[in-house]
Structure formats: C-alpha cells, structure tokens
C-alpha cells in the first residue's frame, strides 16, 4: 500500500499522520505531498523521515491511495489525474461532495455504498459529519422531518492563520487576519463566504450534505458561528420527527451508534464541551431534552474534534473500509 497525503503540512494533513499512526494503518510507503515551497522538507512518521514531493512528482510514484487536504482547486485538477492512473482519492475539500457521480461518505452511516469503481470519494464537511453521526440513528428510528442547527466552530476549521490570529490578539499583538474582525473575545456569525440567499457556504453545506448522506426529504436550516476556541466544533440541534419518541430511548439509540457517546447528566453538570472532544474520534451528544414548544421535537448538543472525526479520522476510516472490504 503506497499512501500519499496531499497537503501534508496543513493542520488536517498533520492530523492525518497522527491518526494513521494511532490506528496502525498498514502502509508500505508514505508519500508526503505539498506545495513547491515545501518540497525537500521532511516529515516524520513512525520514527522515519519522508521527503515532501510535488504533485507532478506524485504522478510518477504509482500510489495506491491518496488523501487530499489541499483545497478545492487542487482536488478539481489533480484528483482525476490520479484516478486515471489507478490511484483512489479520498478528498477532504468541498469540490467533489455534491457531484452526483461521487459518493459522500461517513463510514458508520453509508460506507456500504462504496464499490471498487469509486475512484474519487468525498469526505463531508467537518460540521456535517458530527451532525449526521448524531442524526442517523434517530432518523432510522423516528424519521426526521426538519433540523435547525446552530454551530459554534473552532478557529482550527479555518487553519493555522486563524489560530495565529486568535493567539496574537490574546497577547495584544497586531498581525495578519484570517477573519474580517477580531476573533478573541468575540463570535462571528460568518463561516465561509456569503451566498446569494443570505446563507454562508458553510451553512449550505450543512443543508445539502445532510440531505445527500441521510435523506433528501430532511429539511435543514443552519446558522454557523466562529468562536474563539482552538479545537472542537459544537452544535445546538433542534429536530422535528415524524414519530414521537421517548427520551431514554433516544439516549439508548444514540449510545448504540458506533462512534457516538452520550454525556448527559445535568445533576452532575455533565455535558459535552469542545475540550471534551479534543484529540478524540468520538462524537459526543448531551443536553438531550424535549422541545416543549413544538410537538415531536427534540433539542440536543453535539460536539466533536473537527480535525479528527470531522476530517482526518473520517478519511482514515474510509480507507480502512476500502481495505477491509477488498475495494483497493
């Protein structure tokens, strides 16, 4: 197994290396790939140093599998080139997610949709992954009609520049901004670019990707907010079902979902927080309660590490599924 990581120097790329090591994913050769300015530098993996190469050089290396975390434009141009020469691609950008001929995969939910013919596989948006992980078992049991979600998203979702902005502002240092406003001691109701309908791209990803992964009939409306947190996205989720539900049964159903853990004991102030999820691969759910203002409606709070299950871990899990089912 020759595995390439495109965008290896980025936050998600670095997390991919960590997750691969932790999960002991079996590879014969690691091929780190980044921009021309990073070529020649080396990355460490399992005690060995590997030189970073360019995308052009990667085409000559006959990789079996490539993880992409280098943005939509890179994925648009280079994923098909690799697919043409027999290298499967798992892409973490938004470019391939809504293409009708490419599958959008969360292994615990729809991994069984994959076949050996899938050469470019899309990894969902970080905020979508944790949302659908919590929604999927509930939809199966009660049938979801509508979801209203408000997100509280870490600066790590924007990248290193945003993390530096937060750290510098906390120290009172003027520096280049990733956001149009200060993020320290602030909350920005502005994740990604605004679209013509007044929603941001991030908000529309939550709508469109949830429909593609779970059910086109689920109505989803979202407000995405960036908060001064390093690591971990949180979501307030309001769900209206077609069928009624029992709260204890809801907790049991969520706990029985692989990759989900319920932390919900308000008598002991136990509920998920971003700090709870840091460096963990689990999606945490708490504050589970009935919405008294609307029939057959539930409120809950969903938290996950956006760099792990929201990106790197989900990518590795897709690769594991391909290997375990002889699809590589």
Positions marked active-site? 126, 233
What span, in angstroms and rounded, lies between the C-alpha atoms of 6 and 1?
A: 16
What span, in angstroms and rounded, lies between the C-alpha atoms of 138 and 134?
A: 7
64 and 54 in contact (C-beta within 8 Å)? no
Number of Cβ atoms within 10 Å of the Cβ of 142: 21
34: tokens are 């980044």
Nearest to 166 by CA among 230, 103, 121, 120: 230
What number of CA atoms fall less than 13 Å from residue 164's CA on the CB side? 9
The dihedrals phi and psi of 7, each to the nearest 5 degrees, come to: 95, 35
Q: Which residues contact 94 (CB under 8 A, 6 or more apart)?
A: 72, 125, 201, 205
Q: What is the DSSP letter of 38?
A: G
What span, in angstroms and rounded, lies between the C-alpha atoms of 188 and 107?
A: 32
What span, in angstroms and rounded, lies between the C-alpha atoms of 104 and 114?
A: 10
What span, in angstroms and rounded, lies between the C-alpha atoms of 328 and 200?
A: 36
Strand partners, 50: 43
């Amino acid at each position: 197994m020759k595995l390439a990581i495109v965008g290896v120097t980025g936050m998600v790329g670095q997390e991919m290396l960590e997750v691969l090591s932790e999960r002991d994913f079996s590879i014969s050769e690691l091929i780190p790939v980044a921009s021309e300015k990073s070529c020649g530098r080396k990355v460490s993996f399992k005690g060995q140093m590997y030189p970073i190469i360019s995308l052009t050089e990667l085409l000559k290396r006959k990789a079996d599998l490539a993880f992409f975390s280098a943005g939509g434009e890179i994925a648009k141009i280079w994923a098909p080139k690799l697919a043409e020469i027999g290298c499967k691609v798992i892409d973490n950008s938004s470019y391939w997610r809504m293409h009708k001929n490419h599958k959008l995969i969360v292994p615990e939910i729809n991994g069984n949709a994959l076949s050996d013919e899938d050469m470019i596989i899309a990894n969902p948006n970080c905020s979508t992954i944790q949302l659908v992980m919590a929604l999927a078992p509930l939809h199966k049991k009660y049938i979801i009609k509508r979801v209203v979600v408000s997100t509280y998203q870490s600066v790590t979702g924007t990248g290193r520049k945003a993390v530096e902005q937060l750290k510098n502002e906390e120290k009172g240092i003027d520096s280049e901004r990733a956001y149009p406003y200060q993020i320290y001691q602030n909350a920005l109701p502005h994740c990604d670019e605004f679209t013509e309908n007044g929603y941001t791209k991030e908000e529309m990803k939550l709508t469109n990707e949830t429909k593609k992964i779970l059910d086109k009939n689920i109505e989803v409306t979202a407000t995405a907010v960036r908060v001064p947190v390093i690591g971990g996205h949180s979501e307030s989720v309001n769900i209206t079902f077609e069928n009624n539900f029992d709260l204890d049964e809801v907790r049991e159903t969520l706990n029985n979902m692989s990759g989900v853990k319920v932390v919900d004991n308000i008598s002991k102030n136990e509920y998920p927080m971003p700090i709870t999820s840091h460096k963990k691969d689990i999606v945490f759910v708490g504050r589970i309660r009935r919405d008294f203002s609307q029939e057959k409606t539930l409120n809950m709070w969903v938290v996950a590490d956006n760099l792990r299950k929201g990106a790197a871990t989900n990518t590795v899990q897709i690769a594991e599924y391909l290997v375990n089912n002889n699809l590589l």
